[in-house]
Amino acid sequence: MTLLVPFDGSVLAAAALVRATEFGRVFDQNVLAVSVIPDRNAEYARERGWIETDEPFDRETVVSKLHEQVTECCPSSDFRHEVVDRYATPGTIANCLRKTAEREQASMVFIGSENAGHIVTTITSVGSKVAADEAYDVVIVRHRSPSEISTLSDANDHRTRKSDFHFPE
């Protein structure tokens, strides 16, 4: 099984990658960061900071930059990129991520998004479309600074502690 992180280089995607890596250590699962790149779409690449304002689109440059960001953030995670049509819609990008999650048998997908999972979502939200798939659990990371995550076995004392819940008499 794999923990999958859609990665576009944003601060929230990096936070999701860090959280996935921590979960991966606890559950002994591989972490895979996946970037979906609309081919030859310089405007899309510039909006995400993949290339400079005056720089022409070069797929190798974009892939290298994203791979470097993933490695810098979490050296133990794997990286893969997928290429879609130049004018791919958010739905196409989301479907690509969902297919990758299925192919990799992802047990969890970590999405860095300020609005994924809200009841009201925008039409352009890739995160909400990926989060809608029932084939895997979804963790939505909305905060830029990930909290410290201790191993679940240390943090969870469910074997010795009783629930505080009780029925009224």
Q: What is the CATH code of the structural domain delimited by 2-155?
A: 3.40.50.620
pLDDT-derived band at 67, boundaries 50, 70, 90: very high
Where do the domains of the chain lie? 2-155
- DSSP assignment string, 54-70: TPPP-HHHHHHHHHHHH
- DSSP assignment string, 9-55: S-HHHHHHHHHHHHHHHHHT-EEEEEEEEETT-HHHHHHTTSS-TTP
**pLDDT for 148:** 47
pLDDT-derived band at 69, boundaries 50, 70, 90: very high
CB atoms within 10 A of CB 66: 22
Indicate whether 159 pLDDT > 60.
Answer: no
pLDDT in tens, 72-131: 999 999 999 999 999 999 999 999 999 999 999 999 999 988 765 444 444 445 555 565
**pLDDT for 82:** 97
